[in-house]
Structure 1
Amino acid sequence: MNILILGATGPTGRHVADLAIAAGDTVTVLARRPEALEDLADQVNVVAGDATSHKDVAKAMIGQDAVISALGRSTSVRADDLFTRAAAAVIDAAKEQGVSRLVWLSSFGVGDTYQSASAVQKIMYRTFLRDIYANKELSEKAIRSSGLDWTLVYPTLLTKGPVKGTYRAGDRLPMKGNPKISRADVAAFLHKAAHSPEWINRDAVITD
């Protein structure tokens, strides 16, 4: 499969890139800092550009079968419209290039998943993460109405732990305490979802 990865310089996106390479996919990454992926230079096609630029995304999307977005704001609590601008660029570029499959990484607590969060989590989502979550929710409304074969993925608290392969995934999941999941397992789900029709036009909540 030909896969375009957005956010490959981030910790989760890098896991996705490594998995896709290991699986034998033909991998393209769009990165503002191509130098951060120098160690993959002979294994992936690195396109220098911005995920919020329609022109850059369209260029990187030529010949792709699927797009996996693992874009994030690292430790920032401000979205700066990253997700809405990237979603707009991806949707327009996908239609232009005839690419229908999109797997988009979100966060637990965004949109309808907020209702399943604990009281403590809801406080965090309404305060520190309010700006980022609001922008993510807007971006996902655009994706849902795009006509693409989308999957929106909502992992619980991300950790640096190893891949376990025993995570739970569902449209809705019962939650207790402060559920977590490793970035490695999230990446495995993103990669698997891109290769399967199982999660097309579905939300996927994932946690250990």
Structure 2
Amino acid sequence: MKLLILGGTGPTGRHLVDLAVRSGDSVTAFVRDPEALGDLAEEVTPVIGDATSQRDIATVAGGHDAILSALGRGSAVTAGELFTRSSAAVVGAARASGVSRLVWLSSFGVGHTYDWASTAQKLIYRTVTRAIYADKEIADERIRNSGLDWTVVLPTRLTHGPAQGTFHAGDRLPMKGNPAISRADVAAFMYQTVRGDEWVHRSAVITD
């Protein structure tokens, strides 16, 4: 496959880029700083751009089989802006360039999934992540209403641990305490998802 990956220098995105490269896919890494790719820069096509700019994304999106976004909050954009703006840019660019498949990384606890959270999770979502989750809620709804072949991925608390390969995925999962999942497993799920149609037009909750 020919994949356009946004956020490829982030902690989840690097796992995603590495997995796609090792699987033999052609990868375009849409980044602010190609040097942040390290050794992976030699294995992909790095493109410098702004993920909140529809023009920047549309310039490179054409000809790809899918767009995957592993964007995280960057220091250059304050909370309340990044995901709202980048979702608009990505959807507009995908439509303009004829790319229908989109896998979008969000978070469990965003939007309606807050109601499914445990007491411990809700405390965090009401305080620590409140502003960024409000931003993500707007973005997620835009993705779902985009008319694209979308998948929204909703992981629980992210860790930097190794991939376990035994994570759980579902439209809704029971929650106790403050469950977690490694970024490596999230990347693996995103990659599996983009290669099939099981999760098209669905939101996937994932956790270990």
TM range, normalised to the smaller chain? over 0.9
CA contact (8 A) 2:154 2:203 kept: yes
CA contact (8 A) 1:69 1:105 kept: yes
Are 1:142 and 2:142 counterparts? yes
Partner SS state of residue 12, structure 2? helix
Per the alignment, do residues 174 and 75 of structure 1 end up closer, same or farther by CA in structure 2, a change over 3 Å counting?
Answer: farther
CA contact (8 A) 1:165 1:185 kept: yes
Per the alignment, do residues 152 and 50 of structure 1 end up closer, same or farther by CA in structure 2, a change over 3 Å counting?
Answer: same
Amino acid at match of 1:85: R
C-alpha displacement at 1:75, in angstroms? Answer: 8.6
Partner SS state of residue 67, structure 2? strand
Cα distance in 2 for residues equivalent to 1:24 and 1:77: 33
C-alpha displacement at 1:38, in angstroms? Answer: 3.8
RMSD: 1.6
C-alpha displacement at 1:178, in angstroms? Answer: 1.4
Q: Which residue matches 2:21?
A: 21
Q: Tell which deviates more after alignment, 48-57 or 113-122.
A: 113-122
Map 1:150-189 onto structure 2 (within 5 A). 150-189=150-189
Partner SS state of residue 41, structure 1? helix
Q: Which residue matches 1:126?
A: 126
C-alpha displacement at 1:73, in angstroms? Answer: 1.3
Q: Which residue matches 2:207?
A: 207
Extract unaligned runs of 5+ from structure 2.
Answer: none
1:7-58 CA deviation, whole Å, 9 max, x = no partner?
0110100000000001111000110111211422221000001110111111
Cα distance in 1 for residues equivalent to 2:140 and 2:62: 23
CA contact (8 A) 1:160 1:182 kept: yes
C-alpha displacement at 1:59, in angstroms? Answer: 1.5
Map 1:60-79 onto structure 2 (within 5 A). 60-73=60-73, 78-79=78-79
CA contact (8 A) 1:7 1:70 kept: yes
Taking only the aligned residue pairs, the percentage that are identical comes to: 62
Partner SS state of residue 104, structure 1? strand
Provide the aligned length of Structure 1 versus Structure 2. Answer: 208
CA contact (8 A) 2:151 2:201 kept: yes
Extract unaligned runs of 5+ from structure 1.
Answer: none
CA contact (8 A) 1:77 1:129 kept: no
TM-score normalised per structure 1: 0.96
Cα distance in 2 for residues equivalent to 1:35 and 1:69: 19
Per the alignment, do residues 181 and 200 of structure 1 end up closer, same or farther by CA in structure 2, a change over 3 Å counting?
Answer: same
